[in-house]
Amino acid sequence: MRLGRRRFLAGLGAGLAASTVGLPPAHGAPGGTARRLVVFFTPNGTIHRQWRPSGGETDFRFPAGSILEPLAAQRERLVILDGLDFHGVSNHEGGMAAMLTGGGGPGHVGEGASIDQFVARHIGGASPFASLELGVLTSAWGGNVQTRMSYARQGEHLPNADRPADVHRRVFGAVVEPGAADDRLARRASILDLLQDEVADLRASAPRSEHAKLDAHLDALRRAETTLTSPGVAGCALDAPTLALDPGANDAFPAVGRAQMDLLVAALACGQTRVASLQWSHTVGPVVFSWLGIAEGHHSLSHFDDANTAGVDAFVRAERWFAEQFAYLLQRLEDQPDPESGGSLLDSTLVLWAQELGDGRLHECRSVPWVLAGGPMRGGRYLQLGGAPHQQVLTSVARALGVDTESYGDPSYGTGPLAELES
């Protein structure tokens, strides 16, 4: 049965339309280049005095009760970035849009793509999925500048997969043991052939102004075809997540997030992708940390002033919980062998914990709290950067993945890598 063109295009979704076609792998020095990139996002800023470590660059520690204390066991794998500024933007929306794009647009390196997608173009071409965008309660408000952080190019955001069962089906549903017959792959490939014919027919009669969008659909379908007809990886057939709770329910937030992290690590370990992101909620996110006995939404908590000691304490507890999730992800990567190098996945994976605001109460993108972990960067450091532009960190991230670039995003705010990350 042929699908109606309008129905097909409406249902195809931005995920396929925005899929990035990988470019040839980047070339980096062996041992000095990460093989994988993970971006971990949490929203609404911080309270700096509760977040900052004490001490200097190498003798720092996490004070008792502080937000980052749950990361103490991974201290030597971390680079804490304090005093990082997003120049030229402010507030929730501005920070969310610039966070991973560096404020770039046409004519700039990346052309407005987020750093994960830029890196995926260079190292993701040989993987079934150039990148994976996972989320936890990111889509109740739809797809917009507040709820999305990954961009294929300026203004073209990518959706997040918020349902672990859907992620499992998409990423591992086609993975079979060598020699196992699976006629479903052939049937799915046949359906994709039909859809490509539909889009090609539509392109022939569509206005020239619509050709670029339709070409993006065709590129995405070709990418999906490669994914569905891949031969599979031995030992990578996973049990489907058995979540009885609705992934859209507030109280399912911890369970969904844990399942997403496990799927992300499995996708990296099984070679299904080299670039993945996990977005917890979104800027202005209203999640209520009910499992911690908190009754206010996270965004509301982020605006309590110091006089509201109970509100500040609740926000710190929520932020510590996010730090615990980051620690869990790092430990899972540390415990998972890298099938290529023999070390751990954390050894070969650069992990960025990004946020979009500094002090959420001020709505400023100044001194935005970021943390790097794993990969080739020298850990065990607390860097006080004094207003360095975050474009330099994005440049350093690209270079750590073997992508040779001297800037990222809008170069008017800063070019070159962050020197402290190159040492």
DSSP 270: T
Q: How high is the pLDDT of residue 186?
A: 55
Task: Give the start-to-end residue ranges of the domains of the chain.
Answer: 18-186+238-417
pLDDT of 251-305, one tens digit each?
999 999 999 999 999 999 999 999 999 999 999 999 999 999 999 999 999 999 9
- Judged against a pLDDT cut of 70, whether residue 219 lies above it is answered with no
DSSP character string of 152-190: EETTEEPPPB--HHHHHHHHHTT---TT---HHHHHHHH
| Averaged pLDDT of the chain | 85
- Judged against a pLDDT cut of 70, whether residue 182 lies above it is answered with no
pLDDT of 361-402, one tens digit each?
999 999 999 999 999 899 999 999 999 999 999 999 999 999
* Residue 240: band (very low, low, confident or very high) from pLDDT cuts 50, 70, 90: low
DSSP 291: G
Q: How high is the pLDDT of residue 216?
A: 58
Q: How high is the pLDDT of residue 292?
A: 98
% pLDDT > 70, the chain? 77
* Residue 406: band (very low, low, confident or very high) from pLDDT cuts 50, 70, 90: very high
Do residues 241 and 165 lie in contact, with contact meaning Cβ atoms separated by under 8 Å?
Answer: yes
Total-model pTM? 0.81
Fold of 18-186+238-417: Alkaline Phosphatase, subunit A (3.40.720)
Q: Side chain identity at 270, as an amino acid letter? A: C
- Judged against a pLDDT cut of 50, whether residue 8 lies above it is answered with no
Q: How high is the pLDDT of residue 190?
A: 54
Q: Which residue has the higher pLDDT, 53 or 201?
A: 53
* Residue 10: band (very low, low, confident or very high) from pLDDT cuts 50, 70, 90: very low
- CA pair distance 223, 225, nearest whole angstrom: 5
- Judged against a pLDDT cut of 50, whether residue 30 lies above it is answered with no
